[in-house]
Amino acid sequence: MRPNPQRRSRYSRRVSIVVPAYNEADNIKPLVEKFEEMIRRTRLPAEVIIVDDGSDDQTLQFAQQEARGRRFLRVISTGRHRGLTSALETGFNAAKGKIFTFWTADLQYMPDEIPKMIARIEDGYDVICGWKKGRYGLKRLVSFVYNMLSRLLFGVKVHDLNSVKAFRREVYEEMPTLREGWHRYLVVIAAQRGFKVGEVRVKLYPRLHGKTKFSILRIPIGLTDLFSVKYQISFMRKPMLIFGSLGILLVFLGFVTGGVAIYLRYILHDGFRPLLYLVMLLVISGLASIGLGFVAESLIYVKDEISGLKKQEQKIDNLAESISHLRKQLQSIEKSVKREVRSGDKSE
């Protein structure tokens, strides 16, 4: 039985479920069936977008086959393997819903968990993280360390930052351009920008088909990304905080060193010329650092201005789309009126 979009739903906003898939051919059919059953049973006004990330197997073909006759399902291909972050951005950019959900294609999370995450969004949260419960081997230790460091660095009070999640469309629109792998930090960036973050428990099931994409090589990459994101959201929002502070410290040390050089030269009559070079180095470096701070602040200002223009452009596009939709409705009403007039004329 196909989901009936005409049935009344208790959910107030449409949901876009983005599912990146890379070499998940054996999981596509059962996954789509579970999504279909969930949407039918809960009457969730949802669209499911499967994004094939350049799979080497028949993931794309199987997904396209399952999409036939299912209005809630769309399939997109990135053309080549670009990574999870790029696949997610492709799906989110194509999504039409007011609430986005990131879900996995490996059937380790069941679609039945989605409605309770959406319910928390409806309750006033901006981002809801899935707090996974289950066995997942070495990955569990890596996840524990990652989440512990994330809580210490960013102060986000959730247990699992790298799991399935749901969030308002506005959260994604506020995100900067995400570099590869930075989808893991969507929650901390959202929290840094003032969005309300919560979590719900979700059950983790063992993988039945396909191979895990987890690799031990991801650990050092994840750690470097962790500190890079911390630098970006803490210091690059206020670059003068780091460059200006460093510059002031260097200039201060230069003056202290200069005072020591003067004391040695004129009080103890024992000059030490290298101190003069050190004073010059510290003062010049300090002034250069402060100058870099001003340049960085100017770049941030320009970036914010561009972001503001993009938001205005998005609003204009949304307004144009609304006007286009209204025009189509008016044309439809006009045609209906003309048909009724013709029918009246014929009856007379």
Pairing assessment for the beta strands 127-133 and 99-102 based on DSSP bridges: unpaired
250 and 229 in a common domain: no
141 and 255 in a common domain: no
Closest of 103, 129, 123, 114 to residue 45, by C-alpha: 114
Task: For the chain, report the end-to-end CA distance as a whole number of angstroms.
Answer: 46
Can you tell me the distance from the alpha carbon of 206 to that of 202, in angstroms, rounded to the nearest whole number?
A: 13
Two structure tokens written together for 17: 């479920």
- Residues of the domain holding 178: 15-234
37 and 140 in a common domain: yes
Residue 344 falls inside a structural domain: no
pLDDT, tens digit, 9 for 90 and up, residues 287-306: 999 998 888 888 877 877 77
177 and 90 in a common domain: yes
Two structure tokens written together for 204: 């983790």
Q: How many domains does the chain have?
A: 2
pLDDT, tens digit, 9 for 90 and up, residues 194-217: 899 999 999 998 888 767 765 666
Residue 218 falls inside a structural domain: yes
Domain end point (choices 215, 234, 253): 234
The DSSP output letter for 266 is I
Domain end point (choices 208, 234, 260): 234
State the CB neighbour count (10 A cutoff) for residue 240. Answer: 16
State the CB neighbour count (10 A cutoff) for residue 259. Answer: 11
Of residues 43 and 185, the one with the higher pLDDT is 43
Closest of 292, 285, 127, 108 to residue 214, by C-alpha: 108
Residue 302 falls inside a structural domain: yes
Q: What is the CATH number of the domain that holds 153?
A: 3.90.550.10
189 and 163 in a common domain: yes
Integer-rounded Cα radius of gyration of the chain:
28
Residue 4 falls inside a structural domain: no
Pairing assessment for the beta strands 46-52 and 197-203 based on DSSP bridges: unpaired
249 and 179 in a common domain: no
202 and 67 in a common domain: yes
Instruction: Please determine, for residue 252, whether its predicted confidence score (pLDDT) is greater than 70.
Output: yes
Residue 110 falls inside a structural domain: yes
Domain end point (choices 216, 234, 252): 234
201 and 154 in a common domain: yes
Residue 64 falls inside a structural domain: yes
53 and 139 in a common domain: yes
pLDDT, tens digit, 9 for 90 and up, residues 228-241: 777 777 666 677 87
Strand partners, 50: 19, 75
- Write out the DSSP string of 18-77: EEEESS-HHHHHHHHHHHHHHHHHH---EEEEEEE-S-SSSHHHHHHHHHTT-TTEEEEE
163 and 189 in a common domain: yes
Residue 307 falls inside a structural domain: yes
pTM of the model: 0.68
Which residues does 264 contact at the CB level (< 8 Å), separation at least 6?
A: 270, 271, 272, 275
Instruction: Please determine, for residue 32, whether its predicted confidence score (pLDDT) is greater than 90.
Output: yes
CB-count burial class (<10 Å; 0-12, 13-18, 19+) for 330: exposed
What was the pLDDT predicted at 185? 81
Can you tell me the distance from the alpha carbon of 254 to that of 252, in angstroms, rounded to the nearest whole number?
A: 5
pLDDT, tens digit, 9 for 90 and up, residues 68-118: 989 999 999 988 888 888 899 899 989 999 999 999 999 999 999 999 999
206 and 273 in a common domain: no
192 and 272 in a common domain: no
Residue 311 falls inside a structural domain: yes
